[in-house]
């Protein structure tokens, strides 16, 4: 999978050199390019923002530097023989980025992430981009960051780890929170007695059937208590 990230803070993305995603890049499983949006400006001040039409607080990102950056990236993908790229735009006004979205996007061969700042990007950019990209506006959750970079890091990690070969043991992708729509069961390691806190007896029993039943019960109970929104609505027919 090829991933291009466009940002005015390329150094923010240095986390992609590290750990699992860094290793996947070195192994050639993920090809990640980070671009400075200001390299696609044409004025002396390398301007990327301007005041909002209609007034209001803050600044809005100008569409033209984005169009120039995205055109050159789309062309690079085409030259490399990649399919229609997905343009991922982190924004608090997007659809919720959940595990099912990460799953879908992990099948793409070319992902382009547009990291906005200020009050966001001129809306016309997204309509223009539909010509070249499948455009997805996505939100990490109901809170506001200062820009798209931290959300991009989270999304690239969530998507990248689902690309075959990136996670060494693919079984760990099956047994984790959200992979089956429920929260994960609690986990324990040695020692079995730690500072007066015990590991549940069933996990020491060696009875795989009882362990599996207990874990499923824990998943349901945790999800009911912490994330009832994930369970089917009991009022629905």
Stretch of 26-34, 141-149, 164-172, 179-187 lying at the interface with ligand JDN (CB under 6 A): 141-149
Q: Exactly one of 91, 126, 162, 166 binds ligand JDN (CB under 6 A); which one?
A: 91
DSSP 199: P
Question: Are 142 and 95 a contacting pair, CB within 8 Å?
Answer: no
156 near ligand JDN, rule: CB under 6 A? no
CA distance 187 to 185: 7
Stretch of 25-33, 38-46, 49-57, 144-152 lying at the interface with ligand JDN (CB under 6 A): 144-152
Q: Which two tokens stand for residue 63?
A: 């569409």
181 near ligand JDN, rule: CB under 6 A? no
Query: Closest by alpha carbon to 25, among 166, 172, 173, 169?
Result: 166
Closer to ligand JDN by CB, 25 or 117: give it.
117
Q: Exactly one of 10, 52, 147, 181 binds ligand JDN (CB under 6 A); which one?
A: 147
What angle is formed at CA 198 by the lines to CA 195 and CA 202, rounded to 5 degrees? 165
Q: Exactly one of 120, 135, 153, 223 binds ligand JDN (CB under 6 A); which one?
A: 120
Closer to ligand JDN by CB, 85 or 116: give it.
116
CA distance 161 to 170: 10
**Residue-level length of the chain:** 237
**Residues binding ligand JDN (CB under 6 A):** 90-92, 116-118, 120, 139-140, 144-145, 147-148, 151
């Amino acid at each position: 999978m090829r991933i291009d990230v466009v940002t005015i803070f390329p150094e923010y993305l240095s986390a992609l050199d590290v750990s699992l995603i860094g290793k996947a890049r070195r192994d050639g499983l993920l090809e990640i390019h980070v671009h400075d949006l200001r390299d696609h400006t044409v004025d002396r001040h390398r301007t990327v923002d301007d005041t909002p039409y209609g007034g209001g607080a803050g600044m809005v990102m100008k569409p033209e530097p984005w169009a120039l950056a995205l055109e050159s990236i789309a062309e690079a993908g085409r030259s490399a023989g990649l399919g229609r790229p997905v343009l991922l735009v982190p924004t608090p006004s997007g659809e919720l980025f959940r595990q099912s979205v990460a799953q879908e996007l992990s099948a793409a061969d070319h992902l382009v992430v547009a990291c906005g700042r200020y009050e966001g990007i001129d809306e016309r950019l997204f309509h223009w981009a539909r010509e070249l990209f499948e455009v997805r506006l996505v939100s990490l959750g109901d809170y506001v960051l200062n820009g798209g970079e931290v959300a991009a890091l989270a999304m690239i990690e969530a998507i990248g780890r689902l690309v075959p070969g990136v996670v060494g043991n693919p079984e760990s992708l099956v047994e984790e929170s959200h992979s089956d729509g429920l929260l994960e069961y609690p986990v324990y390691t040695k020692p079995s007695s730690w500072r007066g806190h015990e590991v549940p007896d069933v996990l020491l029993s060696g009875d795989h059937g009882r362990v599996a039943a207990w874990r499923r019960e824990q998943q349901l109970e945790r999800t009911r208590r912490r994330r009832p929104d994930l369970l089917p609505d009991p009022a629905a027919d």
